[in-house]
A = this chain, B = another copy of it.
């Protein structure tokens, strides 16, 4: 059973993972593997190498855990948190701990091993977003889960261990610190101004335009004023929506198109970089729809965290968001890009 432990000084929770446990000796260096052909557990035909599917969008008259699917959701084979059990929150001397209860799922975005999320059509990306929605709605019914975080790691430098296009979902028994910080900040602003801070940011960005990557129908993508990393890019609905689940059917298509265009620009600008994205939405325990505004944060991995960042929580960003935005605006999304250059993408 994984264990959740709370830092006694600053209150940060950490998952001490057992299912994906690494023995101390496993950190000894491993010789670089050659380009050996290994079986991809996410490819059609290999369904039996993964845990059974939780849901899938599949062709008529095909069976679960068999080929014929377009999007497939499974439990993570090495889950950070496990679904069975009770939290049993308890003290250990001055420390706090609880059992690592939660859900950890993988959303396989396409059956085609050769395509990344950005290569999918708008309709295919919309299906992936719709799978996010369905999984959130299902997991929200479990009262042990206080938050559902959807995220994607693409490329080795971003922490991906498998190449086949996928995103992940982790349901946690507490609202994570980063989400709480956003909720608290947005609430404080709302109490003072009686306006959503994200809506105010969108208005200022649209007016100044120097950090906007592109103004889509219902969304904009922009580089945040205090970007932590070069080319950090947010995608956010232009009208106020506190939750990903408040989108209309047509919004899902618009978001898919906005994501595809933004990811194409980033791929062309940075030569197919490793990246993470995360989806921040209102937790179900927060009843007020007024002050939070859901959004996607895309973080290309072109710099490294070093001692100063670890020690201070301060980030040093060597590229101004204005310069990054101007560069991304100028990208011709129809240009060709050479395929992923994994070895160099993350280590510039």
Report which A residues bind B (CB closer than 8 A). Answer: 3, 5-18, 20-32, 80, 92-95, 147, 149, 151-153, 156-160, 168, 170, 172, 176-179, 181-182, 184-186, 189, 197-198, 200-201, 204, 208, 224-228, 230-231, 269-271, 273, 276-280, 297, 299, 302, 304-308, 310-321, 323-324, 327, 341, 343-345, 347-348
Contact = CB atoms under 8 A, between A and B. Distances in A.
Q: Among A5, A16, A94, A178, find the residue whose CB has the most chain B CB atoms closer than 10 A.
A: A16
A149 B312 contact: yes
A interface secondary structure, majority? mixed
B318 A178 contact: no
Contacts of A277: 307
A250 to B, nearest CB: 26
A311 B27 contact: no
A311 B14 contact: no
Contacts of A17: 316-318
24 contacts: A7-B224, A8-B185, A9-B181, A9-B189, A14-B226, A14-B227, A14-B314, A15-B315, A15-B317, A17-B316, A21-B320, A27-B230, A27-B269, A27-B273, A27-B348, A28-B271, A28-B348, A30-B348, A93-B204, A94-B201, A149-B308, A176-B311, A177-B312, A181-B313
Given A28-B271, A318-B17, A323 B23 contact: yes
B276 A344 contact: no
A295 to B, nearest CB: 10
A225 B5 contact: yes
Given A14-B315, A271-B28, A307 B227 contact: no
A24 B230 CA distance: 8
A167 to B, nearest CB: 8
Contact of A311 (B6, B204, B278): B278
Contacts of A204: 93-95
A160 B308 CA distance: 11
Given A8-B189, A21-B318, 11 more contacts: A12-B314, A16-B227, A20-B316, A24-B327, A27-B271, A32-B343, A149-B312, A153-B307, A168-B308, A178-B310, A276-B310
A8 B345 contact: no
B151 A307 contact: yes
Given A7-B224, A27-B273, A29-B345, A307 B177 contact: no
A177 B178 CA distance: 13
A14 B93 CA distance: 37
Contacts of A315: 12, 14-15
A234 to B, nearest CB: 11
A93 B204 CA distance: 7
